[in-house]
Amino acid sequence: MPHLRVRGVKPEVVQKLSENLNTELAAMIQTSPDNFTIEHVGTLFFLNGKAELGYPFVEVLWFDRPTEIRSRVAEHLTMRLRALVGPTDVAVVFVPLKPQDYFENGKHF
């Protein structure tokens, strides 16, 4: 926890993105780097009847943090993704989880 789900890019981009990302984000949100999972979600976008890769879209599932932290994380993810794929739109969506609804090894936080 946090869980990052990345779609709209090739798996190789997520693999490269994952280099040091957990350490960088951990410093921003003050958690341990080993708490992160970074996942590539294979998906297709469709526009006008044609399949396309789309644009980078990142879902961040985590325990809610203040707007200032969300903004810093979103800016950092956008910068890192643009460095890998070039200038493009990047969407970052935060999905807050409640500790009482999050279980690990059968126990909630």
Specify the residue for token string 């708490």: 35
18-76 pLDDT tens trace: 999 999 999 999 999 999 999 999 988 899 999 987 899 999 999 999 999 999 999 99
Say if strands 3-7 and 57-63 run parallel, antiparallel, or are unpaired. Answer: antiparallel
- What is the Cα–Cα distance from 3 to 37, expressed in whole angstroms? 5
User: Domain 3-108 carries which CATH code?
Assistant: 3.30.429.10
State pTM to two decimals.
Answer: 0.92
Q: What is the pLDDT of residue 82?
A: 98
